[in-house]
Chain A
Amino acid sequence: MSAQAEPTSWTGRVRRAVWAAYPPERLLPERQPAYVSSWVYVFGVLTLASLIAVVSSGIVLVIFGPAWWHVSSVGHFVNSLHLWSAEMLFFFMAVHLWGKFFMAAWRGRRALTWMTGAICFLASIATAFTGYLSQQNFDSQWISTQAKDGLNASGIGAFFNVLNFGQMLVWHVILLPLVLIFLVIAHILLVRRRGVCPPLPAKEPSSPAPEDPDYPRSPDPAAEWSGAKRRYDLIKELVSALGVVVLATVVLSALFSSPDEKAVTAARWANANPTDFLTTAVTELDKTSGVATYGPPYTHTPGTGQTIVGSISLARLAGVRIPINTARDFVLAPLSIGSKSDPPLAAALASYLSASPAQRRTWTSTYTKALNSVSFRGGAPVVAPGDYGPVALMMRDLLAQAQSGGLDGALIATNHFYQTDYTKPLLFFSDGTYLENLATQQNLLGSQWGMMNETGNYPGQAWLWLYTFWYQIPPFKTSENADAQIWAIMALLSLGLVLVPFLPGIRSLPRHFRVYRLIWRDYYRRAEAPRE
């Protein structure tokens, strides 16, 4: 380009830089270095094909709305496509990552390629996580009530509220896919820019011998490959991979469908286990429940907020951002709705609110003890005579409200018309044993490696094995600060995965494992062949 043709505008400079970095033959090549001859190379394009399948099925689910797949057989089938393509995405991505690790594929100025790939993996985990939270079923409820502890312990929960369905849905269908797609594009462009990493050096012959120029023994990973090439059809490879993934997804969806355990409601809980409901409700009223004494981001409770080491508490640093008053939010406010047309209830509420804290505690304490021998007549609780003040009537009416379904609406009611935040009902449910018992039956507890399990016999989030592993071993198994400590460990390990190209020792492991000798065995056979 002549000096006169030098672009002076920003647009011209960008065009020239893009053209120089990505000439068409590099962007869409028809030749690859001859060493790219292993099935290990196909997992990258299979991952990309799976991502296309995930996004396509996700778009259909978004078009029809989040509740569609619960009420439509077509919707359920599309959800199955979404689930199985996501399973395949992680399947191929993990195998792709193994392959690239054993090739030490970050050599020759390709560290950024590895790093964007590793961040894609982490972003995929976050996207899948918000997807599980957006299912609107029992799985979502349980995952959100469990995941909140880890996120709250790290301080993130104050801003990223997993109990807020609306927030999680937006993250899942807009923000995280945008980030992921951007990262994937950057990753692919880096692969095209730098080319496929050449093999690690071949063995030098025992006596000096000429080198085959088609198969140089020590190819410079930073230089353009000058040896033998092979034919390559990038578009055909992508279309073939997409065909394989779509076929496999349809077959898996048709064979196995996808899980959809019905969500727990206050009505279901109160009808199935009224004693547990009442016991929990009283602890919410007298503020002795788990949520009432949780600490940040829900309550100002002295001495709460998990610490990582010493007294460092990110939860306390983030503060109380989602204030919850269990007595008001879970009991008194819902009851006040019915009290407008129920004078005895209105009087009971007035009596409770005007009593001293000590008097209230006496009533709730006595009533809690009485619940040990509670019986039910026509659905209403019957307890032995005692000094319960207005509490017995309040609890009876709250149970009736819950059993009729009224409490479900009251717990999410706000001053606004549209409701998408389920923080209050989910926190209330998490204090009882009903939700937990259902989860125990499905092996979903933390002590059951539950983080990687799915309801029924479906494969779950196997990629979370390391995260859930820490909860099974001491000192984390019994630590009060396990969530914060494990979060810190996983954050460090995730950073380590991204920075593998720069970590002495770790980055040399592929040379010791020698798996690369199998991947590039064709190259080594030729490069190390005796030559006259």
Chain B
Amino acid sequence: MMTLLAAACSQLVGAFVSLEGKPRYIHHGWFLISVANLVVIVLMIVVFVLALFLRFPGEREKR
């Protein structure tokens, strides 16, 4: 069981999308940010805005 798990994990650890290698950065003047960090920050803002606008399901009850 552990051997099977290890084999599966070794495949997974290889990473389907490799984030190793030469780092990708956005550089403008004194401002520098990694693409990965930018994606995370933009995603946070998008998720927050979606949470503001998307309708929340569920019904209300009277008092």
Contact = CB atoms under 8 A, between A and B. Distances in A.
Interface size class of A (residues with CB under 8 A): 35 or more
A259 B20 CA distance: 7
B51 A80 contact: no
B36 A459 contact: yes
A243 to B, nearest CB: 17
Interface string A452-479: 1111111110100000000011000000
Contact of B51 (A40, A443, A455): A40
B13 A518 contact: no
B39 A459 contact: yes
B59 A442 contact: no
Nearest to B41: A462
A515 B52 contact: yes
A1 B62 CA distance: 32
A228 B63 contact: yes
Contacts of A443: 23, 25, 32, 34
Given A73-B6, A73-B10, A473 B30 contact: yes
Given A76-B13, A77-B9, A443-B32, A95 B48 contact: yes
Contacts of A226: 63
Contacts of B35: 457
Given A256-B15, A443-B23, A462-B40, A213 B63 contact: yes
Interface stretch (A3-11, A31-39, A196-204): A31-39
Q: Which of A94, A99, A459 has the most CB of B within 10 A?
A: A459
Contact of B34 (A37, A87, A259, A457): A457
Contacts of A229: 60-61, 63
Interface string B6-45: 1001101111110111011100001111111101110110
Contacts of A182: none
B51 A43 contact: yes
Interface in A74-88: 74, 76-77, 80, 87
Contact of B40 (A91, A213, A253, A522): A91
Nearest to B54: A39
A473 B48 CA distance: 29
Given A256-B17, A459-B40, A73 B9 contact: yes
B36 A99 contact: no
A402 to B, nearest CB: 28
B32 A448 contact: yes
Interface in A240-287: 253-257, 259
A238 B32 CA distance: 38
A222 B54 CA distance: 29
A259 B36 CA distance: 13
A449 interface: yes
A64 B20 CA distance: 26
Contacts of B60: 34, 37, 228-230
Contacts of B32: 443, 448-449
B19 A257 contact: yes
B6 to A, nearest CB: 5
Given A39-B52, A74-B9, A259-B19, 19 more contacts: A31-B61, A37-B56, A39-B54, A41-B56, A43-B51, A73-B13, A77-B13, A230-B58, A230-B60, A231-B61, A254-B12, A257-B13, A257-B14, A443-B34, A449-B32, A457-B20, A457-B21, A459-B37, A459-B40
29 contacts: A38-B51, A39-B50, A39-B51, A39-B52, A39-B54, A73-B10, A74-B5, A74-B9, A76-B9, A76-B13, A77-B13, A94-B44, A227-B63, A228-B60, A229-B60, A254-B16, A256-B15, A257-B15, A259-B20, A443-B23, A443-B25, A443-B32, A452-B37, A460-B36, A462-B40, A462-B41, A515-B52, A518-B52, A519-B52
Interface of A: 31, 34, 37-43, 72-74, 76-77, 80, 87, 91, 94-95, 98-99, 213-214, 226-231, 253-257, 259, 442-443, 448-449, 452-460, 462, 472-473, 515, 518-519, 522
Interface of B: 2, 5-6, 9-10, 12-17, 19-21, 23-25, 30-37, 39-41, 43-44, 47-48, 50-54, 56, 58-63
